[in-house]
Structure formats: C-alpha cells, structure tokens
Amino acid sequence: MISFFDTITDMREMIKRNLDLKYLIPFIANEAIIVLSTLSVMIFLKNENYSLMELISTIIMMIFIFFFFRKDFNKDKLKVDKETFRLIIKYTVIIFSLNIITTSIENLLSTLLNVSLDTTNQGMIIEMLYYNPFSISVSVILAGIIEEMLYRYSIFRIFKNRKTAFFISWLIFAFGHFSGFNLAAYISMISYLTLSFALTYIYYKYDDIRIVCGVHLLNNTIGIIEMMVLMFM
C-alpha cells in the first residue's frame, strides 16, 4: 500500500522533472515592485502620477533582472553578432507587417460595430505620452526586455516541455494586455494574440533571448514613434 509520504515524494519528483519553480520568482518580484512603486508615488508625492509609477517600477525591475539572471548568461551569450542582428531586423519587419494587418482588421471591426478603440491599452499610453513623453517612452521601450525575460525566458524555464511552455507563454502574454470586459478590449486582443504568437514562435524556434528581446524592443520603439505622430496630427 502506497503511503502518504510516498505520494508526496512522487509528486515532488514529478514537479522537479517537469517544472523549475525558481523562475516564478521574477513574476512575484514584478508584481511586488509594481505595487510598492505605486504606493511610494502615492504616499510621498500624494498624487496618481501613472507615468512616474511606470518609470520607477520599470527601472527597478530592470535592476532585478540584471542580478537575478546574471548567472544564466555570459558575455558571449549577450553579444549581438551579424546573424543575430539580421534576424532581429527580419522579424521586426515581419511583426510590423502583421501589426498593419491586425490593426486594419481591428479598425474595420470597430467601424462595422460602431465601437471606439480609444479605451484600449494603446489609447491609455497615448494619453500618458501627452503629459509625460519621456517617462512613458522609456517605460514602454524597456518593457519589451522585461516582458521577454518574464513571458518567454522564464516560462520556458518553468515548464521543461517546450510545447507546453509555448502555449502558456503565448496566452499569458496576450491576456496580460487585456484591458477590460468590453467589445473594444475584445477587438484589440486580435493584435495582442498575433504579436504574442509571433514573439513566442521566434523564441521557440531559436531559443535565443537576444533575438526576441531585440525584436520586441524595436517593435515597442516603432509603436511609440507611431503614437507620437498620432498625437501631433
């Protein structure tokens, strides 16, 4: 007869074979940093300066990432050679093209359904850019690196089965940008699901965080430039 302790031991061995729970720490740290940064700004500045909250939490999280993941990489793994740069440019162009297609589909649906998309994440970022362009630009651009270290690198370390990691990474990143239970938010998920699938595929194919970080960073930079152009039109 199998004892309770044997069952617990078997479960621990199964978890050890399939999961690496160490990489849950960055997710916990990210949430804690966001909460503490928000409370600090509200308490000490006595206002809800969202762009400053974003900037502070982004910088602190970048510092955390540097120290937490420093043993995972040596200098050679972080160098961007010509082939890596070529792949970054190639997939940035592909994702930019996909963004044009998905944005066109979203705009068509919003027109047909008479729904404004201004309440989505992009609309909120444009609003914050208007009041504090530097803080929100830095936050959004660096967020690409943070998100890749969390939603791609960490998830592919937590789940040792790469197909499982692909599926979870794709959905968690996409629905992490879900902005509310309304038709505008549902329509906007077309872009996020497509972007998340493309980024996850890149990491799944090459297993190289440099490529996917570079693509995400450039994609966010292009997005910020587009939003700034919209602001002054």
Rounded CA-CA distance 63/154 in Å is 16
Question: What is the rounded average pLDDT of the residues 143-149?
Answer: 94
Specify the pLDDT at position 224. Answer: 86
Q: What is the pLDDT of residue 204?
A: 97
As a whole-number percent, the residues of the chain with pLDDT over 90 amount to: 49
What is residue 205's predicted lDDT score, i.e. its pLDDT? 96
User: What's the predicted TM-score (pTM) here?
Assistant: 0.86
Mean pLDDT of the chain: 84
What is the model's pLDDT at position 125? 67
Most confident residue range from 37-46, 67-76, 195-204: 195-204
* Per-residue pLDDT at 75 exceeds 70: no
**Proportion of the chain above pLDDT 70, given as a percent:** 82
Predicted confidence (pLDDT) at residue 90 exceeds the cutoff of 70? yes
Lowest mean pLDDT segment, chosen from 110-114, 138-142, 187-191:
138-142
pLDDT band at 14 (very low <50, low <70, confident <90, very high): low
Residue 1 has pLDDT above 50, yes or no: no
Q: Which amino acid is at 61?
A: M
Average pLDDT score over residue span 184-197: 91
Residue 184 scores a pLDDT above 90: no
Across the range 2-12, mean pLDDT stands at 52
